[in-house]
Amino acid sequence: MMASYLVLKRNFALPPLLVLMASKPRARNAKGVTIPVAVSVFPDELYPAPRSWAERAFPKLIHYNKLDKGGHFAAWEQPKLFSEEVRAGFRPLRKSI
């Protein structure tokens, strides 16, 4: 439901980042995340998380990558890139076992 709301607002009213900031403030205020985290930033995502934010929000950041293609539905839009990112995100965990 929220994704549909954002699409409507983005296309017909406010700039997308303003809508995202107004409707989901907790999405940018990650706190207490203690598990390893991998972040893949697709260029057409609603909020392309900067590395500096990801490092502050996720103390156990094990993978960060900015990609050239894809967006909010990256698994559908760029399935090969998406699957490569999932594998790259888990790779450091496999090495530590």
Can you give the pLDDT at residue 34?
Answer: 85
- The answer to whether residues 60 and 36 touch, using CB atoms and an 8 Å cutoff, is yes
Q: 1 or 56: which carries more pLDDT confidence?
A: 56
> Cβ of 69: how many Cβ atoms within 10 Å?
12
Q: Residue with structure tokens 């609603």?
A: 46
In the chain, % of residues over pLDDT 90 = 49
Residue 14: pLDDT over 90: no
Among the residue ranges 7-11, 41-45, 80-84, the one predicted with the least confidence is: 7-11
Can you give the pLDDT at residue 29?
Answer: 65
